[in-house]
Amino acid sequence: MDNKEVTIHDIAEILGINSSTVSRALNNSPRVAQKTKDKILKKANELGYQRNDLASNLRKSKTFTLGVIVPRISRHFFSSAIAGIEETAFKQGYNVIICQSLESLEREQSIINTLVANRVDGVLISISMETENYNHFKGLEQRNIPFVFFDRHCNISNTSRVVIDDFAAAFTATEHLIQKKSTEIAHFSGPQNLEIYKNRFKGYKAALEKYNIPFKEELVITSSLMEADGIENTKKILSLPYKVDGLFCANDVVAIGAIKYLKKIGKKIPEEIAIVGFSNETISSVIEPSLTTINQSGFKIGQIATNLLLKKISNDDKKQIHETIIVKTNLIERKSSLRIDKD
């Protein structure tokens, strides 16, 4: 029928059947005889009829679409989380709109507005580094659109989140460096408005305290944790009047920058400086020396967060379920921290 979109009315006219009967048949209604259904479905396929699911869902006040906001899709953790989200959502009959804030609060706010305009049934969010104002999330709440934070979350009440124990993971990473004979340990941290970096810093500090290692504020450098930051931060700690022999980084990307710079100037890793990262990015296992890191399963976190959001969406009573689910992490030991004991 040329390039014109085929409608229910077209099928009805060709077959000489009432439009409402065609509609019922296409929706598999028991009110239509199977023989009639078969005839209608055959003709619909011949004509290339496509169901308008959006219009149908809007009539039901549901679009079966979820919004997902991450800082950067290119990061291994977030791409893994998206894979877990998409797989879980698809199995439950939901499509996914994936957006990235690129660490911009303004962009994050704009994305929320776009998702609301597209009538998503719920939103999964990992916030940007700039996010200190939470009013756009309150807007979701006011519109009764359920949302779940994963990984990076806001410290606001009555919200659901799927996270790791950043404090415990950072403590483990720092303790590992101490057990490998590091005594002057620097920490490359992220923006302290984000709970994950705040808690990783606290875990680092607590490990020093446990082993009676004095905390030195100058050895903690906050940045946006890009590879270039790793280079500049390493230059700074090497210029200090301390013999830094350990480095705990709040993500792998900044740790990779540190490794590249230290190799360039001839520093031996781990003999002179042992390094531990965080997140287990793909490059961490292939860089030389391979990077010891905290492994957090993005795929699993994505699955759990999606199931939690779908539970909130399907919750018919007016009481909202607010849960915090903590997913376990583990330390992966690689060459960057494994000093050979000479005792």
Taking a C-beta distance cutoff of 8 angstroms, is the pair 220, 314 a contact?
no
Taking a C-beta distance cutoff of 8 angstroms, is the pair 189, 200 a contact?
yes
| Helices and strands in the chain: count of H runs, count of E runs | 12, 12
Residue 82 to residue 86: CA distance in whole angstroms: 6
* Structure confidence by residue, pLDDT tens digits, 4-38: 677 888 898 899 998 888 888 887 777 888 989 88
Q: Are residues 46 and 69 in the same domain?
A: no
Taking a C-beta distance cutoff of 8 angstroms, is the pair 263, 257 a contact?
no
Q: Are residues 108 and 176 in the same domain?
A: no
Give the DSSP H/E element, type plus range, for residue 186. Answer: strand 185-189
Q: Are residues 160 and 209 in the same domain?
A: no
For residue 336, tell me if it sits in a domain.
no
Average pLDDT in the chain: 91
Q: Are residues 134 and 184 in the same domain?
A: no
* Structure confidence by residue, pLDDT tens digits, 82-92: 999 999 999 99
Q: Are residues 70 and 33 in the same domain?
A: no
Q: What is the DSSP letter of 216?
A: -
Taking a C-beta distance cutoff of 8 angstroms, is the pair 70, 81 a contact?
yes
Q: Is the pTM of this model over 0.75?
A: yes
Q: Are residues 252 and 187 in the same domain?
A: yes
Q: Are residues 303 and 291 in the same domain?
A: no
Q: Which residues constitute the domain of residue 43?
A: 8-51
| 15-29: burial string, b at 16+ Cβ within 10 Å, e else | bebeeebbbbbbeee
For residue 337, tell me if it sits in a domain.
no
Residue 146 to residue 94: CA distance in whole angstroms: 15
For residue 210, tell me if it sits in a domain.
yes
CA distances from 159 to 85, 119, 137, 146 (A): 19, 20, 10, 9
Strands 330-332, 292-295: pairing is: antiparallel
* pLDDT of residue 94 exceeding 50: yes
Give the domain CATH number at 33.
1.10.260
Q: Are residues 148 and 199 in the same domain?
A: no
Six token digits for residue 293:
């890191």
| 247-267: burial string, b at 16+ Cβ within 10 Å, e else | bbbbbbbbbbbbbebbeeeee
Q: Are residues 226 and 318 in the same domain?
A: no
Residue 181, C-beta contacts closer than 8 angstroms, at least 6 positions apart? 245, 339
SS3 per residue for 226-255: CHHHHHHHHHHHHCCCCCCCEEEECCHHHH
Give the domain CATH number at 131.
3.40.50.2300
Provide DSSP, 25-86. Answer: HHTT-TTS-HHHHHHHHHHHHHHT----HHHHHHHTT---EEEEEES-TTSHHHHHHHHHHH
Residue 218 to residue 225: CA distance in whole angstroms: 17
For residue 56, tell me if it sits in a domain.
no
User: Per-residue confidence at 133, pLDDT binned at 50, 70, 90?
Assistant: confident
Cα 280 → chain centroid: 14
Closest residue by Cα to residue 66 from 34, 96, 31, 110: 96
Q: Are residues 243 and 186 in the same domain?
A: yes
* Structure confidence by residue, pLDDT tens digits, 155-184: 777 889 999 999 999 999 999 999 999 999
Average pLDDT estimate for 326-343: 87
* Structure confidence by residue, pLDDT tens digits, 36-82: 988 988 888 777 777 665 555 554 578 899 999 999 999 999 999 99
Q: Are residues 141 and 247 in the same domain?
A: no
Percent over 90 (pLDDT), the chain:
71
Residue 124, C-beta contacts closer than 8 angstroms, at least 6 positions apart? 66, 67, 68, 69, 85, 147, 148, 150, 302, 305, 306, 309
Give the 3-state secondary structure of residue 20: helix
Q: Are residues 75 and 181 in the same domain?
A: no
How many structural domains is the chain composed of? 3
Q: Is the dihedral of CA 295, 209, 262, 258 positive or negative?
A: positive
What pLDDT is recorded for position 342? 45
